[in-house]
A = this chain, B = another copy of it.
Amino acid sequence: MSKIRAGIIGATGYAGAEIIKLLAFHPEVEIVFVGSRSYADQKLASIFGNLYEIVDLTCIDDDTERMKEEIYRLADQVDVIFTATPQGACASFVTKELLEKVKVIDLSADFRLKDVAVYEHWYKIEHKAPELIENAVYGLVEVNREKIPQARLLANPGCYTTCSILTAYPLVKEGLIDPDTLIVDALSGVSGAGRGGKVANLYCEVNESAKAYGVATHRHTPEIEEQLGYACGREITVTFTPHLAPMNRGILVTAYASLVRKSDGTLPSGEELRSVYSRYYDKERFIRVLPDGVCPETRFVEGSNYLDVNCKVDPRTGRVIMMGALDNLMKGAASQAVQNMNLMFGLPEETGISMAPVLP
């Protein structure tokens, strides 16, 4: 079989660069082009020195307006395009015709939400390709695996959402918690804030500090609600609070919900809950249900496609505390995108993304 030819738009953000690194070592992929608006015509390795002598590619100009025409020519050269672009960009140039030529894996939020009104409400922008939403596949592999191979347009989930949904999913799906009580408290490393030259993300503004942000308004909220709503078969509303912590990578989710009492009036035990997690996830290559009493730590998943989960019952309050950790640039973005690509092209799911986490 000849190699999958891939192009990456938005290659000089952190997620884009991570995709390139993964694809450069992927045994079944050849990178054909990489695009960047800010670094057009520059060697990729002059921006990401780690790729020096490893990736010898020069960025083409992927200005969104320019892409509206250019993308068809580019599509002829590749089998798949990854878009690691700001919200709205992908929707502005992807079309039905384009999808007949090439598969698209979009790392932005453009095709994650099925309700265009919800998208426009939370993202404050008009959706330019609402007709494509229905057939877009939400690429949360461990929940949606069967639908992914047929996808032409794949919506790669957000970093907070991947971690939040998968951390709560088994208990929501099994009706063991009351979804209306679900509160997701999460923290992220700084690479989640992007690679733009903003004062707010300078080293000295972020280092040695922690803060909540986007309180009650963060855009990943409806994505969590939609997917967990599917799991419990009705619309739900959750509280989601993201925090910024001074580290490069990592998402840590601590989620709270009231347990549903059993028919005998007792609370489910920790053992019962953990056995549900095991039932859902033990067969999963990239989700690790940790031993009883062990809390996920972001350092133990850094640089890998793993998600670590666990839970703890608090019998005093009748709540369960669910915990999850992943690397926002990997399982939360790039390696999950490659995991989806593998499925879309009939490859073993773990191809090119089976590396162990880096420590320390």
A48: chain B residues within 8 A (beta carbon)? 300, 359
Which of A27-35, A123-131, A314-322 is near enough to bind chain B? A314-322
Which of A1-9, A79-87, A248-256 is near enough to bind chain B? A248-256
List A189-212 residues whose CB lies under 8 Å from chain B: 189-191, 195-199, 201-212
A355 at the interface (CB under 8 A from B): yes
A212: chain B residues within 8 A (beta carbon)? 252, 254, 295-296, 321, 323
List A109-133 residues whose CB lies under 8 Å from chain B: none
What residue in chain B is nearest A183 (Cβ atoms)? B256
Chain B: minimal CB distance from A200 (Å): 8
Question: Do A321 and B205 touch across chains, with their CB atoms under 8 A apart?
Answer: no
Question: Do A208 and B295 touch across chains, with their CB atoms under 8 A apart?
Answer: no
A14-B360, A185-B185 are contacts. A197–B202 as well, Cβ < 8 Å? yes
A50: chain B residues within 8 A (beta carbon)? 299-302, 304, 356-359
Which of A64-72, A95-103, A148-156, A238-246 is near enough to bind chain B? A238-246
A187-B245, A243-B252 are contacts. A208–B360 as well, Cβ < 8 Å? yes
Closest 9 CB pairs of A and B: A209-B299, A50-B357, A49-B300, A216-B314, A204-B360, A211-B297, A185-B185, A190-B203, A50-B359
A189: chain B residues within 8 A (beta carbon)? 208
A25 at the interface (CB under 8 A from B): yes
Footprint of B on A, CB under 8 Å?
14, 17, 21, 24-25, 46, 48-54, 183, 185, 187, 189-191, 195-199, 201-213, 215-216, 237-239, 241, 243, 245-250, 252, 254, 256, 288, 290-291, 294-304, 308, 312-314, 316-317, 319, 321, 323, 325, 354-360
**Which of B195, B256, B356 has a CB less than 8 Å from the CB of A204?**
B195
Question: Do B241 and A321 touch across chains, with their CB atoms under 8 A apart?
Answer: yes
Question: Do A246 and B245 touch across chains, with their CB atoms under 8 A apart?
Answer: yes
Question: Do A243 and B239 touch across chains, with their CB atoms under 8 A apart?
Answer: no
Count of identical protomers in the assembly: 4
Chain B: minimal CB distance from A210 (Å): 5
Question: Do B297 and A209 touch across chains, with their CB atoms under 8 A apart?
Answer: yes
Question: Do A208 and B247 touch across chains, with their CB atoms under 8 A apart?
Answer: yes
Query: With the chains together, A132 CA to B312 CA distance in Å?
Result: 36
Query: With the chains together, A335 CA to B130 CA distance in Å?
Result: 50
Question: Do A185 and B52 touch across chains, with their CB atoms under 8 A apart?
Answer: no
Question: Do B52 and A216 touch across chains, with their CB atoms under 8 A apart?
Answer: no
A185-B254, A249-B208, A288-B53 are contacts. A216–B300 as well, Cβ < 8 Å? no
What residue in chain B is nearest A238 (Cβ atoms)? B317
Query: With the chains together, A181 CA to B198 CA distance in Å?
Result: 38
Question: Do A356 and B295 touch across chains, with their CB atoms under 8 A apart?
Answer: no
A190-B203, A238-B317, A247-B210 are contacts. A300–B52 as well, Cβ < 8 Å? yes
Instruction: Given contacts A208-B248, A216-B312, list 5 more A-B pairs with CB under 8 A.
Output: A191-B204, A197-B202, A207-B207, A207-B248, A209-B299
A206: chain B residues within 8 A (beta carbon)? 203
Question: Do A202 and B207 touch across chains, with their CB atoms under 8 A apart?
Answer: no
Question: Do A252 and B183 touch across chains, with their CB atoms under 8 A apart?
Answer: no
Question: Do B187 and A195 touch across chains, with their CB atoms under 8 A apart?
Answer: no
Query: With the chains together, A246 CA to B202 CA distance in Å?
Result: 12
Chain B: minimal CB distance from A256 (Å): 5
A209: chain B residues within 8 A (beta carbon)? 247, 250, 297-300, 302
What residue in chain B is nearest A286 (Cβ atoms)? B53
A14-B204, A359-B50 are contacts. A246–B248 as well, Cβ < 8 Å? no
